[in-house]
Amino acid sequence: MSGVIYEKVALIGLGLIASSITHAAKRTGLVGEFTGYARSQETRDTARELDLCTVYDTAAEAVEGADLVILCVPVGAMGSVMKDIAPHLKSGATLSDVGSVKRAVIEAVEPYVPEDVHFVPAHPLAGTEHSGPRSGFAELFDNRWNIVVPASDYTDRDAVERLKTFWKGLGALVDEMDADHHDLVLAVTSHTPHLIAYTMVGVADDLARVTDTEVVNYSAAGFRDFTRIAASDPTMWRDVFLTNKDATLEILGRFTEELFALQRAIRTGDGDHLHDYFTRTRSIRRGIIEAGQDTDAPNFGRGPANT
Amino acid sequence: MSGVIYEKVALIGLGLIASSITHAAKRTGLVGEFTGYARSQETRDTARELDLCTVYDTAAEAVEGADLVILCVPVGAMGSVMKDIAPHLKSGATLSDVGSVKRAVIEAVEPYVPEDVHFVPAHPLAGTEHSGPRSGFAELFDNRWNIVVPASDYTDRDAVERLKTFWKGLGALVDEMDADHHDLVLAVTSHTPHLIAYTMVGVADDLARVTDTEVVNYSAAGFRDFTRIAASDPTMWRDVFLTNKDATLEILGRFTEELFALQRAIRTGDGDHLHDYFTRTRSIRRGIIEAGQDTDAPNFGRGPANT
């Protein structure tokens, strides 16, 4: 990848994702110039200190003349931010976002999108347990998927293809699907697993007979991965569950149904049911490793064995 | 660490843990000689090929004259294996195991323990998604905890301390607690998280509208860690749930209680409840990193960014 794809890109919200976009783009010079805005003075100061982009004190100034505007704020804040910037968007500009839910973002943002602006929502499936501008890094999107979700069937194809080329240039793999299917897929692969992890960590935290120290020391036995997932940004996740309510509740329903069946098998001592179930789940794992979405290194690069 | 702690160590069962014990011991010469036995001909042949130890075709021959005998078979098989070897144990020998559940192992094994043998159960909190003799490696126990659970208050202290020294020599951190407390702690940090992970992966597998490919490609969003946990050995885990039934069911009860509260918060749109809950779970994560039980590297050494 090389060559400028967008002369001027405006980032509204300057957290992990926005920060990583600037770092990744600088590797290949995809972008002529980055501008940015964040609601909090502290985040704006940090972004200036890190020299991520030209930081403005209002979103309106930041999007002025931008060829691509990416909304990088929590899903629940997309609508109000869009309302502020709509009158200032450049004619012919592409408007996108990085929200983890797509139907709700389209419903909140689309009413404000000017006729001459191309709205192409997207969702990079990449993140870490850390948040804020300091947590960004250039490799965050490498080999990770970005799902592009055109807001309507009438969305300008050139604008869609250009945004895809941009994300490929940031290192991502790109796919395209409609908003409702995206929200269901993510409810399975991300939203419900996160809720479950948050729940399990909360249970351990509550359990008085087991001290924090024991939970911490013995976490390597499996709980550890739950705590990483359950350390993600609370505001972002609150908004995800409130805005992808239907799909999350549907998957949760299926989850508790299965869980109760396994619970009954434990109570009744039905070892065959448990063994069959545990055998079936191994195949998906193999697929993920073959697809390059994880390593099968014994310790994931964790611990003294690998450091 | 150096110097021989046990002249002769017999490993009954030659999977990931037994194999790793031999590799780890060879780093520092803790053991004069390893003998071993596995029920399956194929496993015995593999162990011979890997030269892990002197492999015998019966457990009785393997334990002959051993100063330490470690049962490395699934929890459900401990009793019958013990019945076979009991008459052949050396007077004054230490008998231990590596089972993930301790009360059930003590109940199954203790009745067969000769008066002149010291029974000191233990549980190394280390493992990977891989099983079998080929999956063992020397660093598996490094900086991971091993919980030693003396079978009774009358257990010989010298035998207990010697076993602790042995495990420290293999790289482990060592703690001591009673069987019931161990089983509760592990139900929280390992058993229930595993059951939940197995369940979530099973749900995704069932969900016809979401193809395997999508689940696989988009797994990086959180589901990936669940699939790793849910790839563990089915027989081992069947036995864990059947033998740690009470503690697992208790923790599962608390889990579903919390999950339903969060589910209600999603349904009713109670963002504050969700945000407060998600904020609380972050502190445990920090503790785990400070305790050196995980790394906070953004990608866990996974993916192109780190390979």
> Which tens digits make up the pLDDT trace of A151-183?
888 899 999 999 999 999 999 999 999 999 999
pLDDT in tens, A28-75: 999 999 999 999 999 999 999 999 999 999 999 999 999 999 999 999
The predicted pLDDT at position A5 comes to 97
A137, B205: Cβ pair inside 8 Å?
Answer: no
Question: For position B229, what pLDDT does the model report?
Answer: 83
Question: Looking at residues A131-152, what average pLDDT do you find?
Answer: 94
A39: tokens are: 């609601």
Q: How far is CA A18 from CA A69, A93, A150, B206, B253, in A?
A: 11, 18, 20, 35, 40
Residues of A in contact with B27 (CB under 8 A): none
CA distances from A15 to A11, B74, B105, B163 (A): 10, 47, 50, 50
Chain centroid to CA B204: 26
- Chain A positions touching B147 (Cβ under 8 A) are 218
Contact B302 A300 (CB under 8 A): yes
pLDDT band (50, 70, 90) for residue A254: very high
Percent of chain B with pLDDT over 70: 94
**Residue-averaged pLDDT of chain B:** 90
Amino acid B147: pLDDT: 96
Structure tokens at B12: 């009954």
Report chain A's mean pLDDT, rounded to a whole number: 90
Grade residue A297 by pLDDT with cuts at 50, 70 and 90: low
Helix axes A179-186, A245-268, angle to 10 degrees: 30
B247 contacts on A by Cβ (under 8 Å): none
- SS3 category, B39: coil
Q: Which residues contact B44 (CB under 8 A, 6 or more apart)?
A: B14, B37, B38, B55, B57
Q: What is the pLDDT of residue B226?
A: 85
CATH code of domain A6-177 = 3.40.50.720
Q: Where are the domains of chain B?
A: 6-177, 181-294
The model's confidence at residue B303, banded by pLDDT at 50, 70 and 90, is very low
- Predicted confidence band of residue A204 (pLDDT cuts 50, 70, 90): confident
Residue B241: pLDDT above 80? yes
- Please report the pLDDT score of residue A109 as a whole number: 97
Chain B's closest residue to A211, CA to CA, is: B185
Residue range B71-90, pLDDT digits in tens: 999 999 999 999 999 999 99
C-alpha pair distances (Å), B236 with each of A175, B15, B100, B127, B241: 39, 11, 9, 12, 9
Alpha carbons B137 and B24: distance in angstroms, whole number: 7
User: Which residue in A135, A137, A203 is closest to B258 by CB distance?
Assistant: A203
Q: Residue B303 is encoded by which pair of tokens?
A: 């993916």
Mean pLDDT, residues B226-233: 84
pLDDT at A302: 39
Q: CA nearest B194 in A: which residue? A: A222
Respond yes or no on whether ipTM tops 0.90. no
Return the pLDDT at B188. Answer: 92
pLDDT tier, A126 (very low <50, low <70, confident <90, very high otherwise): confident
Cα(A268)–Cα(A256) distance, integer angstroms: 18
Q: What is the CATH number of domain A181-294?
A: 1.10.3660.10
What pTM does this model have?
0.84
Residues B122-137: what's their mean pLDDT?
A: 90
Give me the pLDDT at residue B137, please: 96
How near does any CA of chain B get to the CA of A47, in Å? 19
Cα separation, A81 vs A211, whole angstroms:
44
CB-CB: which of B209, B251, B306 is closest to A203?
B251
CB B218 to CB A145 under 8 A?
Answer: yes
The per-residue pLDDT for B208 is 64
Set of chain A residues whose Cβ sits within 8 Å of the Cβ of B104: none
User: How sure is the predictor about B281, in pLDDT bands with cuts at 50, 70 and 90?
Assistant: confident
Tokens of A288: 């993920």
